[in-house]
Amino acid sequence: MLKRIFFKFLEYSKDCYNELAHKTTWPSRAQLTHSAMVVLSASLVIALVVFAMDFVFQHVMDFVYPS
């Protein structure tokens, strides 16, 4: 039983390696750089939108509920 589990694990490991080494297409450095810049830009835009909304809502609440 233990021998069977070991062989199943070994077969699974070989299949994983085969798929990663021979069947997977990896992006080029230029594609990775472009994707990273898109993610960075989108994150910056979303952060700025959230900051602007927070700023506006804070001033609206200060106007509605003066301290």
Looking at residue 62, its pLDDT comes to 94
**How far apart (Å, rounded) are the C-alpha atoms in residues 16 and 42?**
33
**How far apart (Å, rounded) are the C-alpha atoms in residues 18 and 49?**
45
**Cα distances (Å, whole numbers) of residue 65 to 40, 52, 56, 58:** 37, 20, 14, 10
Q: Domain tally for the chain?
A: 1
Looking at residue 1, its pLDDT comes to 82
Q: Mean pLDDT of residues grouped by 10 in the chain (67 residues)?
A: 91 95 93 98 98 97 91
Looking at residue 6, its pLDDT comes to 92
Looking at residue 67, its pLDDT comes to 75
Task: Tell me which residue range forms the domain holding 52.
Answer: 2-64
